[in-house]
Amino acid sequence: MKTALKYAAAGAALLIAIAPVYWLVTISLKREIDQFAYPPAWFVFEPTLEHYSDAFRGSFTAFFLNSVTLATGSTIAALLVGVPAAYGLARFDWPRNWNENIAGWILSTRMLPPIVTIVPLFLMLREARLLNSLVGLTIVYTAFNLPFVVWMMRGFFDEVPREIEEAAMLDGETAVGVLLRIVLPLVKPGLAATAVFCLIVAWNEFLFALILTQTESAMTLPVGIASRVTQYEIKWGAMSAAGVVAMLPVLIFASVAQRYLVRGLSLGAVKG
Amino acid sequence: MSDGLELDRITKRFGTREAVSGVSLAAKDGEFIVLLGPSGCGKSTLLRTIAGLEAPDEGVIRLAGRDITHREARDRDIAMVFQSYALYPHMSIAENIGYPLKVRKRGQPEIAREVEHVAARLGLTSLLKNLPRQLSGGERQRVALARAIIRRPKAFLMDEPLSNLDARLRVEMRAELKHLQHELRIVTLYVTHDQAEAMTLAHRIAVMRDGRVQQYDTPSNVYHRPANTFVAGFVGSPSMNLIEDPGSNVTLGIRPEDVELSRTEQSGWTQARVYVTEEMGNETLVVLNAGAMRVTARAGAGSLFDFDAPVWFRFRPDKIHRFDRGSSLRLPD
Ligand SMILES: Nc1ncnc2c1ncn2[C@@H]1O[C@H](COP(=O)(O)OP(=O)(O)O)[C@@H](O)[C@H]1O
Ligand SMILES: [Mg+2]
């Protein structure tokens, strides 16, 4: 009886989560005439791939590449800056116990709603001539992901037994060598999970991309897809097809993240 | 000026708390020194200061005649074995052992040869491809030792390296460690709170308490001529009986094996009652109450005494230690 209830609850949750995705996928495969059929054609319709070719005909490919560049670039940048920062906070004693203050300060930048920073960001990027550019967006996304990287990685570094690092120092390793050859391999699951989170955040981000890019040259997928809503028509089929393609990388990231998350967060991975 | 390791008035504070207070020790090249003391007395801190993992607030450390007080840990040429072994979890046993050589950019063939040599010596040959987590505690301990000896450092530091092993293995490894150190002839500082380890391993023991060295001497002298009541009570098991002499300002010390027992009255001996008898197999410990005084005596195996049985005892006159009650220091014999 209990199990039945559990399955029923899980089933309901699954249904709620899957329904919009199912809708999206079916719309992307339906001819226009079936899209608006009433009652809706839930399961039976004549599939077509025309919306996919339609989607790819426009600037979709460029948007896709923009998103890939942006997500990868900002994730790498956030890791390059955030990982050493996190290690510094986890391992070196700052004067007057400032570790906690600095860490709290970094986290606090995530406490305000992102939208409140949009006007200063817009003005700063305009002054720097970085509006409508991937570089500008990369900087913004990096800044956005940085606190997250620092906090996640600091937690993982804290779990590495200090004596292992001290043993490496006595074995003749430099501080940078300890980080690169001893500590990073040990927190690899955590590093991977952090990277995947950054990738997903950057990939899905809509608001900043919408406001900071007005021309197609630096437009990302979410913005590009939304731009299919025009004054005159809404291309449901092409939008859905683009949506499905945009979803795929996230699905892949997420499944990778899942594997590493379990390992990264259960710390047996680090302890001998 | 000299070979070996020399500590000159080392002091280390954590905030206002002094963990190590003006410790001076000199160890000759090849000497096995044990730092012995109760937990929290600053042994690990002292060792970490020598290793370069903590900076001393005062004092000078010299190794092989050179002042290394302000050198980075990696430039000191000191190897350390940690209580937790601190093996690298993501590296195979062979990589763990060879790591100090790899860091020193030795060639692959040389590293492989040395690793094989050291592994054979410590009985690790069949485990070289394993990861640390696949090994038992005793095997990990050997790997930690192998990693320490492979580069023939100028000094070894060991922080309670045997304390995570079970009792039988501990005694076995203790003997092996002693022989290994004898072969290598590298000055070794070994930290323990176990006085049996200290007695068996050390050329000289430094007994520590509250960050200070109480006595620095051979095991035999630490046992037979303890410098103060703390050393007297800490070294030896069961501990030395320490008895306040009511008539004077002197504390008397007598080891349980130097208390003579008799079931019958002897002239000049003191009468007492048996409080409890502890049968140890190879000996029997008899705890006596004589007035307000409680004395532990060591009797032969199989000696049986009933609770509250009357017995007579005396202290072997030539075995009595005398300490000043005020300063707790040993008085001249
Ligand atoms: N990093 C540290 N920060 C503050 N206090 C410390 C630190 N390390 C050790 N201590 C203190 O110094 C004293 C000596 O510790 P330790 O050297 O570990 O003793 P032992 O190894 O003899 O058990 C203890 O009171 C301990 O609490
Ligand atoms: Mg200790």
Neighbour tally for A19: CB within 10 Å? 10
- Is pLDDT of B118 > 80? yes
Q: Can you tell me whether residue B295 is helix, strand or coil?
A: strand
- Helix or strand (DSSP H, E) at B9: strand B5-14
CATH no., domain B5-230 = 3.40.50.300
Residues B25 and B7: beta-carbon distance below 8 Å: yes
Judge: domain A56-267, CATH 1.10.3720.10: yes
% of chain A with per-residue pLDDT over 70: 94
CB pair distance less than 8 Å for A186 and B74: no
State the smallest CA–CA distance between residue A175 and chain B in angstroms.
Answer: 10
State residue A58's pLDDT score. 73
d(CA B233, CA B240) in angstroms, rounded, equals 5
The token pair that represents A12 in the structure block: 């309901």
- Is pLDDT of A109 > 90? no
Neighbour tally for B6: CB within 10 Å? 19
What does pLDDT average to over chain B?
94
- Is pLDDT of B145 > 90? yes
CB pair distance less than 8 Å for B53 and A169: yes
Average of pLDDT values for B43-69?
Answer: 96
Write phi, then psi, for A42 (nearest 5 degrees).
Answer: -65, -50
- Is pLDDT of A270 > 60? no
The token pair that represents B240 in the structure block: 């030395």
State residue A35's pLDDT score. 83
CB contacts < 8 A (A, B): 64
- Is pLDDT of A258 > 80? no
State residue A115's pLDDT score. 85
Judge: domain B243-324, CATH 2.40.50.140: yes
Phi-psi region of A235 (alpha: psi -120 to 50; beta: other; left: phi over 0): beta
Sequence-distant (6+) residues with CB within 8 A of A68 are: A249
Query: Which residue's alpha carbon is nearest to atom 9 within ligand 1?
Result: B45
DSSP assignment letter at A178: I
Residues A216 and A59: beta-carbon distance below 8 Å: yes
What is the position in ligand 1's atom list of the atom closest to the CA of B20? 14
Q: Which of A170, A172, A174 sits opposite B80 (nearest CB)?
A: A170
State residue A263's pLDDT score. 62
- Per DSSP, the residues of B59-120 read EEEEETTEE-TTS-GGGS-EEEE-TT----TTS-HHHHHHHHHHHTT--HHHHHHHHHHHHH
- Is pLDDT of A243 > 50? yes
Q: Which of A50-59, A225-234, B196-205 has the lowest mean pLDDT?
A: A225-234
- Is pLDDT of B259 > 50? yes
Q: Is cis: bond before B153, omega within 30 of 0? A: no
Q: Which of A167, A174, A177 sits opposite B82 (nearest CB)?
A: A167
State residue A231's pLDDT score. 64
d(CA B118, CA B125) in angstroms, rounded, equals 9
Residue that wins the pLDDT comparison between A34 and B120: B120
Banded pLDDT at A268 (limits 50, 70, 90)? very low
User: Residue B16: nearest ligand to its CA?
Assistant: 1
- Per DSSP, the residues of B235-284 read SSSSPPEEEE-TTSSEEEEE-GGGEEEESS--TTPEEEEEEEEEE-SSEE
The token pair that represents A57 in the structure block: 């005909």
CATH 1.10.3720.10-classified regions of chain A: 56-267
State residue A111's pLDDT score. 85
DSSP assignment letter at A171: T
Average of pLDDT values for A91-113?
Answer: 85
The tens digit of pLDDT for each residue in B192-238 reads: 999 999 999 999 999 999 999 999 999 999 999 999 999 999 999 89
Q: Which of A181-185, A236-240, B43-47, B156-160 has the lowest mean pLDDT?
A: A236-240
- Is pLDDT of A129 > 50? yes
State residue B79's pLDDT score. 96
State whether residue B297 sits within 8 Å of chain A by CB: no
- Per DSSP, the residues of A48-117 read --HHHHHHHHTTHHHHHHHHHHHHHHHHHHHHHHHHHHHHHHHHS--GGGHHHHHHHHHHHTTTS-GGGG
State residue A264's pLDDT score. 55
Query: Which amino acid belongs to residue B64?
Result: A
The token pair that represents A172 in the structure block: 């003749």
- Is pLDDT of A1 > 90? no
Sequence-distant (6+) residues with CB within 8 A of B212 are: B21, B22, B23
The tens digit of pLDDT for each residue in B270-291 reads: 999 999 999 988 899 999 999 8
pTM (two decimals): 0.85
The tens digit of pLDDT for each residue in B93-102 reads: 999 999 999 9
State residue B304's pLDDT score. 85
> In this structure, what is the dihedral angle of CA atoms B315, B319, B323, B325, given to the nearest 10 degrees?
0
The tens digit of pLDDT for each residue in A152-192 reads: 999 999 989 999 999 999 999 999 999 999 999 999 888 98
CB pair distance less than 8 Å for B147 and A172: no
- Is pLDDT of A267 > 50? no
CB pair distance less than 8 Å for B88 and A182: yes
Average of pLDDT values for B36-61?
Answer: 96
Write down the domain spans for chain B.
5-230, 243-324
Query: Which residue's alpha carbon is nearest to atom 18 within ligand 1?
Result: B44
Query: Which amino acid belongs to residue A150?
Result: V
Query: Which residue's alpha carbon is nearest to atom 3 within ligand 1?
Result: B14
DSSP assignment letter at A229: B
- Is pLDDT of A269 > 60? no
Please report how many Cα atoms fall inside a 13 Å half-sphere around the Cα of residue B209, on the Cβ side.
Answer: 11
Identical fold, B5-230 and B243-324: no
d(CA B250, CA B312) in angstroms, rounded, equals 23
Residues B325 and B251: beta-carbon distance below 8 Å: yes
CA of B140 to the centre of ligand 2 (A): 19
Contacts B78 to A, Cβ<8 Å: 170
Sequence-distant (6+) residues with CB within 8 A of A34 are: A41, A45, A46
d(CA B295, CA A140) in angstroms, rounded, equals 78
Banded pLDDT at B14 (limits 50, 70, 90)? very high
- Is pLDDT of B1 > 60? no
d(CA B223, CA B115) in angstroms, rounded, equals 40
Average of pLDDT values for B173-181?
Answer: 94
CB pair distance less than 8 Å for B85 and A168: no
State whether residue B100 sits within 8 Å of chain A by CB: yes
The pick from B10, B12, B14, B194 for probing ligand 1's pocket by mutation, whose C-beta has the most ligand atoms within 8 angstroms, reads: B14
